[in-house]
Amino acid sequence: MTAFQSSDFEETLGVNDRVALSQAEQILRKRINEMHMRNGVTIIDPVTTFIEADVQIGQDTVINPGSFIKGKSIIGQDCLIGPNTEISNCEIGDGTEVLQSVVHESSIGSFVKIGPFAHVRPQSDIKDSVKIGNFVEIKKTVFGKGSKASHLSYIGDAEVGENVNIGCGSITVNYDGKNKYLTKIEDNVFIGCNSNLVAPVTVGEGAYVAAGSTITHDVPQEALSVARARQVNKEDYVKNLKFNK
């Protein structure tokens, strides 16, 4: 038998069951968090913050409790992450906020605001100064500088230009049951609330889509597209229903 002298008792911990494995993980997690804090990262609650070994984080970034940062993620300086946020294999620029959201395998620019409760799925490219708001899902989409989808939208398989406003409840209808198709929204477009863009379709630069429209054909530049039925009011309809008699 041979004996080895260790300067740190924790190095001698044997992992023989799930309890010991948990103890070893806690030791390594503490080391990783301490390394980031000594490099200028603020971790509000290290006990509830999980950062994997290959993650890089810039100075003056704040990590709030309940955050999981995984894979080879790179987070810039002066960012705000969490609480209750999961980031995996992403590159995030300086000054970006990701609040109570999930971001996977995507590129996020600087001064972006994501969340709360947003989901950025793989192969998305979010440019600088974008806003991805409450309950917005982005998937395999390029989102141009200064554009925003503030709430309750699904944008998938799309190319969104710069300074685009996507109204509440808008959807890129990208799937026909067999294949996925691309939606293109060019610069300075305004998409009204509760609009459906049925791919493949292009909305030209500077165009407006009226609220409640279902767009199935390309919209020319600087046009207003209205695609909804004319409102019809049927007087006294309700009082003549059978259950009112």
Catalytic residues: 151
Is there a contact between 57 and 38 (Cβ–Cβ < 8 Å)? no
Q: Provide the token pair at 202.
A: 């292009």
CA distances from 1 to 4, 8, 12, 121, 125 (A): 10, 21, 16, 53, 56
Measured between alpha carbons, how far is 121 from 141 in angstroms, rounded to an integer? 9
Tell the burial category of 44 from Cβ atoms under 10 Å away from its Cβ (0-12, 13-18, 19+). Answer: middle
CB 210 within 8 A of CB 226: yes
DSSP code of residue 192? P
User: CB–CB of 100/80 below 8 Å?
Assistant: no
